[in-house]
Structure 1
């Protein structure tokens, strides 16, 4: 059996897929099919970020039609609800969930940027957090692959002083040395599903699911499913005004407890609701956290 793996053709996607391909290739024949026309990646006619699944439609269509056997996704960009006939079948071990600051001038931090400095991001979540933490900064939109945004930052006439991007993106691109500061989740809360690579297969394709099982990290799977549950219950997607994460605490006796955080906010950053609950069942905690978040949004408490 030759395993046909589909992934976006961006530099970021190919670099984060390469380690998994190496592992799979050692176990059997594997080929990669890059997809160049994902709606969220196109230079022309690029899909809006204000909708779900803009990075996955083309790859999912190929998976459903049998053109590929496995689709590789950044979980935060994957559809909130499973597409009928498809399922998330494996998760790589999670990377650093934090956002980071990348600056034109070395040695700066979010606190030491001068008032009026221009910081670029296309994320509603990051924009709201920045306007809350540093309302004196000039936050401007900038969208595109991380390497393209770095080129804009470095261009002499760009007028941009800093970017906020995902720490895991810089690490996967081999550019960790350019990180000026890893930003605390208390300052900028990560998106639900952050730093998780997910592998999607057709429902019932047990042969493929078994073949990719060597990639699967059960602990990450628990956190991933808890975070996807929050997204489903609250109506969120990758660029919605919603953030959060699940963390695992392992006791000495082996028992695990899970803390699920969910944050909702307005785009201007002036109104935010932050809920955190802890318990021994990640799914139950995610459900309770989502209910409390929605209750607070409704009541305005």
Structure 2
């Protein structure tokens, strides 16, 4: 059996989330290739995160050219539409979709509502900034971008008093103990595609697909498809003023899905929030998008 060639970004975050994947695919032979110097990992001239798929272009080129067989992506950072010749083949079980608060004094376990007025909170996310301006307009929000370890260093230097990051990122880095609060999605709505690791292959590479299929989580696959459909119809990408998530309830006789989608102005002053439950996930996404568009959600991105 030829080695399975797996590619992922060379950031600490990407390496941390790829290691369990490699272990799960053992004992089959594998080769791992880290990719550096692309998209949001660049140390200089960082991408403004104002385009789709900014983190994944280099890996996709390598996949298309046959240099690797599998590309590992955070789904929320991957292109909204499948790149011709490639497909998102497998979805690992979803992790915690919530954002979390990390402060300079994690031992106090301070909550977002407990932060003193005027505290400086670092985030470059349009989604988080808008939510904070709505929930805690008395806080000072400053742009803070970069790999999560760099953002935590800014915290330890005292550049900021707190940061908002993804709970799953802290968990994957083994930093769960630093989380002060896991913030309710009702306060900060997660990004569509949050906390999902997706494995991408070439469309015609059935051999590779069969070798990784055992890792697929059916529930996550459905939720991912629904959320990607909303992103596609609404023209969203990783840092667009659009958020939401799909959840699955299989406790009854029929499987039901609840889809929430939220469009908002970057200032946080106006938001349109749609939430529906149904048994047909694709139709659910279509109806949610229709309601968002009917309420002029597409006009919010450039509004104040």
Query: Does TM-score exceed 0.5, indicating one fold?
Result: yes
Please list every run of at least 4 consecutive aligned residues from structure 1 whose deviation after the TM superposition is greater than 6 angstroms: none
Aligned residues: 297
Q: Deviations over 1:186-235 (max 9, x none)?
A: 00000000000000000011000000111110110000000000000000
Task: For residues 130-175 of structure 1, give each alpha carbon's deviation from its aligned partner in whole angstroms, at most 9, with x where no partner exists.
Answer: 00000000000000011110011001xx331100000000000000
Partner of 1:3: 4
- Aligned partner of residue 87 in structure 1, secondary structure: strand
Could you tell me which residue of structure 2 aligns to residue 270 of structure 1? 269
Q: Does 1:109 align with 2:111?
A: yes
1: CA distance, partners of 2:231 / 2:290 = 12
CA distance in 2: counterparts of 1:141 and 1:245, whole angstroms: 25
Q: Distance in 1 between matches of 2:45 and 2:274?
A: 37
How far off is 1:252 after superposition? 3.2
Task: Give how far 1:251 is off.
Answer: 3.0
Task: Tell me by how many angstroms 1:25 deviates.
Answer: 2.4
Structure-2 separation of matches of 1:196 and 1:150: 22
Contact 2:126–2:239, Cα closer than 8 Å, also in 1:
yes
Q: Does residue 13 of the first structure (1) align with residue 14 of the second (2)?
A: yes
- TM-score, length of structure 1 as denominator length: 0.96
**Partner of 2:123 in structure 1?**
121
> Matched residues in 2 for 1:264 and 1:120: separation?
22
- With over 3 angstroms needed to count, the CA separation of the structure-2 counterparts of 1:9 and 1:47, relative to structure 1, is same
SS of match in other structure, 2:41: coil
What pairs up with 1:65-214 in 2 under 5 angstroms?
65-105=65-105, 106-155=108-157, 158-214=158-214
- What is the CA–CA distance in structure 2 between the aligned matches of 1:5 and 1:216, rounded to whole Å? 16
Displacement of 1:23 in angstroms is: 1.3
Structure 1 residues 86-95 or 35-44, which shifts more? Answer: 35-44
How far apart are the structure 2 equivalents of 1:228 and 1:285?
A: 13
Change (3 A) 1:215 1:298: closer
CA distance in 1, matches of 2:98, 2:196: 12
3-state DSSP of counterpart to 1:40: helix
Structure 1 partner of 2:291? 292
Distance 1:228 1:279 in 2: 17
Partner of 1:57: 57
Aligned to 2:251: 251
The answer on whether the counterparts of 2:192 and 2:245 sit within 8 Å (CA) in structure 1 is: yes
SS in 2 for 1:198: strand
Offset, 1:38? 1.8
1:48 maps to which residue? 48
Report the 3-state secondary structure (helix = DSSP H, G, I; strand = E; otherwise coil) of the residue aligned with 1:212. helix
Deviation (angstroms), 1:108: 1.4
Deviates more, 1:244-253 or 1:188-197: 244-253
Q: For residue 144 of structure 2, give the secondary structure of its aligned residue in structure 1.
A: coil
Alignment partner of 1:44: what SS? Answer: coil
**Contact 2:99 2:166 (C-alpha < 8 Å) held by counterparts:** yes
Tell me, in whole angstroms, the C-alpha distance in 1 between the residues paired with 2:210 and 2:298. 47
Structure 1 residues 201-240: aligned runs within 5 Å: 201-240=201-240
